[in-house]
Amino acid sequence: MRVLSGIQPSGKAHLGNYFAMMRPAVESQANGETFLFIADLHALTVTPSPEILRERTMDVALDFLACGLDPEQTVFFRHSDVTEVVELSWILGCLTPMGLLERCHSYKDKVTNGLKPNHGLFSYPVLMAADILLFKADSIPVGKDQKQHVEVTRDIAQRFNNAYGEVLVLPEARIREDVAVVPGTDGRKMSKSYGNTIELFESPKSMEKKIMRMVTDSKALEEPKDPETCPVFALYKLLVSQEDTAVMADKYRSGGYGYGHAKKALAQALIEYLEPMRKRRDELAANSDEVERILRAGAGKAREVAEATMREVRAAVGLQKKS
Ligand code: ADP
Ligand code: TRP
């Protein structure tokens, strides 16, 4: 089984990115072949400055390596180093009905929120389909919000195979239901665009401050509380064992346990959990040549697979004689 996922270098990674996407990707790397890339080409849809794009790309590389990504087990690369993806994207785009893209929630949401759409933003699901299909990936670990894009990918792959023969593999989205939506400090989905994030590598002090200000209901200390609707509990649950989760759930339900207590426990658990990763990140940040070397080596491996698929695709569509 081949697992593939990408992350946009769109700013500092937050706990939502980590629990829904980074941690599962790192955990699954020993179970099968894993491809993971930094989606810098996707990031161009919102035209960041070149300096910011470069800086954020390096940030993502450091974040993943610090979180335990092993470049010997995982093919880890920068999207733009594998230019075949742009060629495949064009070919797939010519098979993609406009209506399929017009129905994409993520595009519609961005436009509703006032973003002036460019062609790249509109056709972004086609590039994402190319990312996946180029590597004949079977399983795509993503957050819930990306499910539709994986469905679009399947639709496009099916159209390609119907038109040209069975060349492409239909992928499945893998959504971890327990972490499908990681709540932010205000209880809504944690997202950069809501300003409710806790960054993965922000200082422990600032993490603690944000946690102590998290939004909860206004139940008094002595009242019983519902853990299942509380964002503090939801984050805590992601960090600790099932036993520790059950202990906190009991405290919530029996009353006499305030949100302040829960927040303190969360802050402590989070800071301890991240400490070894923080250390590793600092070491890597001081050695950026090594990070660059890792990404280039990953791109080399990725391009071997990409080229093999493209030879088949070109032959199938008639761009090149079958060899
Ligand atoms: P943001 O909403 O902050 O811009 P991104 O769109 O960059 O986050 O998300 C990158 C990846 O992390 C995607 O796979 C997305 O589904 C996942 N993700 C981001 N935030 C959350 C969250 N709060 N809960 C679950 N998954 C999330
Ligand atoms: N669109 C994804 C996001 O915004 C990132 C991404 C790009 C991706 N290409 C992908 C994820 C291919 C999985 C597979 O988070």
CB 315 within 8 A of CB 321: yes
Residue 192 is given by DSSP the state G
Residue 4 has pLDDT above 90, yes or no: yes
Is the CB of 190 within 6 Å of ligand 1? yes
Alpha carbons 165 and 219: distance in angstroms, whole number: 61
Task: Measure 114 CA to ligand 2 centroid, in angstroms.
Answer: 22
Check 144, 147, 192, 264 and give the catalytic one: 192
Largest interatomic CA distance in the chain:
76
Q: Whose CA is nearest to atom 25 of ligand 1?
A: 181
Q: Is the CB of 182 under 6 A from ligand 1?
A: yes
Mean pLDDT value across residues 116-132: 95
Q: What are the angstrom distances between the C-alpha of 262 and each of 211, 247, 249, 269, 271? A: 10, 11, 10, 11, 14
Q: Residues 110, 225, 237, 263: which is the catalytic one?
A: 110
Element (H, E) at 154: helix 147-164
46 touches ligand 1 (CB under 6 Å):
no
Confidence of residue 39 (pLDDT cuts 50, 70, 90): very high
| Per-residue tokens: 284 | 């890597």
Q: Is the pLDDT of residue 11 over 90?
A: no
Cα separations in angstroms, 142 against 67, 179, 279 = 17, 10, 27
The answer on pLDDT for 46 being more than 90 is no
Angle, to 10 degrees, between the axis of helix 288-317 and the axis of helix 84-93?
40
- Which 3 state secondary structure label does DSSP give 252? helix
Phi/psi of residue 184, each to 5°?
-90, -175
Spatial CB neighbours of 319, under 8 Å, sequence gap ≥ 6: 91
**Is 110 known to be catalytic?**
yes
Active site residue 192: yes
* pLDDT (0 to 100) of residue 219: 93
User: Quick one: which atom of ligand 1 is closest to the CA of 191?
Assistant: 3
Least confident of 111-120, 155-164, 230-239: 111-120
- Answer yes or no: is the C-beta of 196 below 6 A from any ligand 2 atom: no
**pLDDT averaged over the chain?**
94
> With a 6 A CB cut-off, is 39 part of the ligand 2 pocket?
yes
Please report the domains of the chain, with CATH numbers, ordered by start residue.
2-181+288-317 (3.40.50.620), 202-282 (1.10.240.10)
308 vs 20: CA distance, rounded Å: 31
Which stretch of 177-186, 247-256, 263-272, 275-284 has the lowest confidence by average pLDDT? 177-186
Q: Is the CB of 21 under 6 A from ligand 1?
A: yes
State the distance from the centre of ligand 1 to the C-alpha of 143, rounded, in angstroms: 6
Query: Ligand 1 atom closest to Cα of 181?
Result: 24
- Please compute Rg for the chain using Cα positions: 21
Confidence of residue 310 (pLDDT cuts 50, 70, 90): very high
pLDDT digits (tens, 9 = 90+) for 188-216: 999 988 999 999 999 999 999 999 999 99
3-state secondary structure of 97: coil
Q: How confident is the model at residue 36 (pLDDT cuts 50, 70, 90)?
A: very high
pLDDT at residue 181 in the model: 86
Q: Nearest to residue 182, comparing CAs of 242, 234, 241?
A: 234
Mean pLDDT of the region 107-121: 90
pLDDT at 42 over 60: yes
Is the separation of the CB atoms in 247 and 298 below 8 Å?
no
| The pLDDT of residue 144 | 81
Contact criterion met (CB below 8 Å) for 311 and 323: yes
Atom of ligand 1 nearest to the CA of 144: 16
Ligand 2 centroid distance, CA of 16 (Å)? 14
DSSP H/E element including 173: strand 172-174
Residue 322 has pLDDT above 80, yes or no: no
Spacing, Cα 256 to ligand 2 middle (Å): 44
Say whether pLDDT at 262 is over 70: yes
- H/E segment holding residue 140: strand 139-141
Band of pLDDT at residue 48, cut at 50, 70 and 90: confident
Counting residues of the chain whose pLDDT is more than 90, the rounded percentage is 84
Higher pLDDT, 10 or 252: 252
DSSP 100-130: HHHT-HHHHHHHHTT----HHHHHHHHHHHH
- Compute the distance between CA of residue 188 and CA of residue 176 in angstroms, rounded to an integer: 18
Share of the chain above pLDDT 70, in %: 98
320 has pLDDT over 80 = no
Whether pTM > 0.85 for this model: the answer is yes
Give 19's DSSP letter: I
